[in-house]
A and B are shown apart, each in its own frame.
Chain A
Amino acid sequence: MRTGLSVRTIAALLLILLPAPLVIVIGSSFSPLAVLGFPPPGFSWRWYLEFLRTPEWLWAFGVSAGIALASAVLTTLVALGAALALQGAPARWRGWAETAILAPLLFPHAALGIGLLGWLILAGLNGTATGILAAHLILCVPFAYRPIAVSLAQIDTSLAEAATILGADPRQAFRRVTLPLLRPGIAAAMLFSFIISFDEVTVTMFLVGPETTTLPVSIYARLNDSADPVVAAISSILILLTAGLVLLMDWLVGLRIFIDVEEEGRHPAA
């Protein structure tokens, strides 16, 4: 059944409006003047060079990338462990555990920021990369868990059984059969977690310190004073990085993983 005209109109409008602000940001980053505007009055790489020449910006970029990388790897391992532990567990337990895992997603971030800040102050970790990483692990793990759980549910368990019957011990069966089949889920979990951590700002803004701050929080701090083209240039880099990772995820796994339909064993890229 085709959709009606009004549905298609609203959909088309949104599909234009959703990327529009990002296109505007990228466009205005090429301004040769110090005033922000779109369309830019000319074309120059001036503000990108300024970004590359400013140690504070580069440092914030490095901190963000480091934390995002660490949190991608760690949350994926943690989520993989949890998903395997819950595989075949009684439905009720599984339900409880999944509610607990996904809870941070449903918790107002402003309140979570304060709660975490309280503990980090007690531990003397506020304003450090370790503190921010700890917070990001809690925030990102739901995003890592979902794709792994979905792809685990899609695996035919009889394959691992077959391996066991053919003489593999459980560890071999896991390494040679289950793990390779889980690869798309693991890739999606890592990419997803990396992006969420790299872009997080609402909770992180409570946890940064004078020496350690992340790129999105520095962008926010700068925007609070003035919106100039250097922020547009840095934002454009963030946009392109995110879009690149989304395309990579589409290519590796397929975007269907986002619409998680656990019971359907369809080809994930369909």
Chain B
Amino acid sequence: MNRLLLFAPMGLLIAGFALSVLGLLWSSLIHGGAALYADLLTDPIILRVLWRTAWIAVVTTGLCAVLGYPLALFLARSPRRNLWLILVISPWLVSIVVRTFGWMVLLGNRGVINTSLRGWGIIDSPIRILFTPTAVIIGLVHVFIPFMVIAILSSLLQQDRRLEEAGRILGGTRWQTFRRVTLPLSMPGVTGGCSLVLLMAAGAIVTPLLLGGLRDRMLGTQIYSEIFQVYNFDRATAMAVLLLVLALLLVAPLRLLEARLRHRLEAG
């Protein structure tokens, strides 16, 4: 009884979250129904946005994993981990809008990168990075990579270091030990981090709106403009449901991989 009372406020928040998810599904069925979805799924613009959202999310996640893993490994082994962690965690907690703004200053035609390259005589005319998918991906990787680093770092730190030593003593090279011992044991962190980044990248709004061109819309930005420029709430709701479905489809293979890995680890 006491426990229930203690948990009640949290229950209220969970209910609030569940209701907003259910409300979303419900109102998209009531107000638009099948016709609205059929309309959306035959719209070539929406299809292109869906495809773009999917590939940008996947590329972002891949880059976060490939770049984030070495950083996590470095942090796990570094004696001055705490100092470096400050450099990872402070940018992570700064508002997305501010970090994206930093990239606008860096990547613009008269931005830091173009000015320096021209100053050094490497290029004559500015290269266009801002308002391209490349800029969106750079921004998203910057925004989400700390999540990946923290997920991987946490699973690296849970490993028993003696397993690695055993691998080395038994004659494995450094690379073999990494591939056969360290990497498989840290895979839960990698798949966990990847799911998180995929979901967040698929639903991103601010970064693609500010760094992407008008033609590089993602689903999140499309939803936002549907509400605040077109004032079509029903269509936006249906798109939000599409976003959910897309996110689930993107994460599903990772979940399968995770289950299989766990099975294999437990089987020894």
Contacts and interface: CB of A to CB of B under 8 A. Distances in A.
Interface string A196-217: 1011111001100000000011
Contact of A110 (B27, B97, B203): B203
A91 interface: no
Nearest to B105: A24
Given A109-B203, A115-B240, A205-B205, A19 B91 contact: yes
Contact of A81 (B9, B101, B243): B9
B1 to A, nearest CB: 11
A24 B3 CA distance: 50
A220 B96 CA distance: 10
Contacts of B236: 114
Nearest to A247: B86
B98 A238 contact: yes
A247 B86 CA distance: 8
A15 B199 contact: no
Interface string B68-101: 1011011101000010111111111111111111
**Which bucket holds chain A's interface residue count?**
35 or more
Contacts of B91: 18-19, 21-22
B142 A17 contact: yes
Contacts of A101: 10, 14
A108 interface: yes
B45 to A, nearest CB: 17
B102 interface: yes
Most buried by B among A17, A21, A104, A105: A21
Given A37-B110, A223-B210, A11 B102 contact: no
A231 B17 CA distance: 33
B200 A109 contact: yes
Nearest to B19: A119
Contacts of A220: 97, 206, 209-210
A212 B235 CA distance: 26
Contact of B199 (A20, A106, A242): A106
A25 B199 contact: no
B164 interface: yes
Most buried by B among A19, A114, A205: A114
Interface stretch (B32-40, B120-128, B146-154, B258-266): B146-154
B213 interface: no
B240 A110 contact: yes
Nearest to A270: B82
B21 A219 contact: no
Nearest to A77: B9
A258 B89 contact: yes
Contact of A254 (B74, B82, B97, B174): B82
A247 B223 CA distance: 37
**Which bucket holds chain B's interface residue count?**
35 or more
Given A79-B10, A242-B90, A246-B90, A219 B71 contact: no
Contacts of A264: 158
B104 interface: yes
Contact of A201 (B82, B158, B196, B206): B206
A162 interface: no
A164 B205 CA distance: 53
B87 A15 contact: yes
B49 interface: no
A181 interface: no
A224 B210 contact: yes
Given A15-B87, A28-B105, A202-B206, A85 B7 contact: yes
Contacts of B168: 1
B117 interface: no
Interface of A: 1-4, 6-8, 10-11, 14-15, 17-22, 24-25, 28, 36-38, 77-79, 81-82, 84-86, 89, 97, 100-101, 103-112, 114-119, 134, 137-138, 141, 145, 195-196, 198-202, 205-206, 216-217, 219-220, 223-224, 227, 231-232, 235, 238-239, 242-243, 245-247, 250, 254-256, 258-261, 264
Interface of B: 2-4, 6-10, 13-14, 16-21, 23-24, 27, 67-68, 70-71, 73-75, 77, 82, 84-106, 110-112, 115, 142, 145-146, 150, 153-154, 157-158, 164, 168, 174, 195-196, 199-200, 202-206, 209-210, 219-220, 223-224, 227, 233, 236-237, 240-241, 243-244, 247
